[in-house]
Structure 1
């Protein structure tokens, strides 16, 4: 195993209809399965994964841009879909990353998005396991 920089810890109880809490208490959420319960309020694993993946990817994007001496302003939104998996009659997830990048051309935005996808730890962990679609868009370019 590589040198550990830090470790985060969270515990879930009763699965999709239970509760999840981080060791430090910052995350302390009731879980609700939106497929079977649309009335109660709560989070779900896909929502938590979307938050984590978007934060990790956007961090990788800014690191890649910085390493290429490009000054950007970015925002990444992850859509995580829960779906049937016909391969084993079970379930799977898929991700669409909507990436807004100000400060570069559309071509540079596409290149940065691809480079970030290679660098992001969440992209590395999911590569070959789930479908991930990148949807980069260049915003305002510097004058």
Structure 2
């Protein structure tokens, strides 16, 4: 799999589990937005509200889907998840030569769980998450599981 030589932009998300929504309420999305800037292309939006980039939207959708997949796998295996479970996803847009590529990094925090159990949940979630299936074999994805 080709790796990025030059990162041009990184979209970052932090996803936590909220109270379970009712059947009529699918929960809410709260995005903290900022405009991207890279050397020589700083942007200031004084009259326009900042909007998410494609990388931020992709990371946000992926992290929401993935944290749900962790919950499904944990329920199947009868593993109680901590209330402070969280997933940070960073999606890089970059280039290698003339090719444009994406890469992703996952940091999954499952405090209080045994490391081996947490890692099994994290990897099993990638097996059922539709975003992870879409990316599998197409973009480089690294996973870091933290239990402390």
Matched, 1:34 2:43: no
Which residue number in structure 2 is paired with residue 58 of structure 1?
67
The aligned runs of 1:1-143 (5 Å cut-off) are 34-35=37-38, 36-40=41-45, 41-73=50-82, 74-86=85-97, 89-139=98-148
- Going from structure 1 to structure 2, the CA distance change for 1:37 and 1:44 (only over 3 Å counts) comes to farther
Give the C-alpha shift of residue 32 in structure 1. 5.4
Moved over 4 A (4+): 30-33
* Structure (1 or 2) with the greater strand fraction: 1
Helix, strand or coil at the partner of 2:37: coil
- Please, what TM-score do these two structures have when normalized by structure 1? 0.68
1:2-37 alpha-carbon deviations (Å, 9 max, x no partner):
xxxxxxxxxxxxxxxxxxxxxxxx89xx99553434
CA distance in 1, matches of 2:121, 2:132: 14
- Going from structure 1 to structure 2, the CA distance change for 1:70 and 1:103 (only over 3 Å counts) comes to farther
What are structure 1's unaligned runs of at least 5 residues? Answer: 1-25
- Please, what TM-score do these two structures have when normalized by structure 2? 0.66
- The structure, 1 or 2, with the larger RCO (C-alpha pairs under 8 Å, 6+ apart) is 2
Helix, strand or coil at the partner of 1:102: coil
Give the C-alpha shift of residue 92 in structure 1. 1.0
Count of residues paired in the alignment: 110
Is the CA contact 1:75–1:101 (under 8 Å) kept in the aligned structure 2?
A: yes
Structural RMSD (CA): 2.3
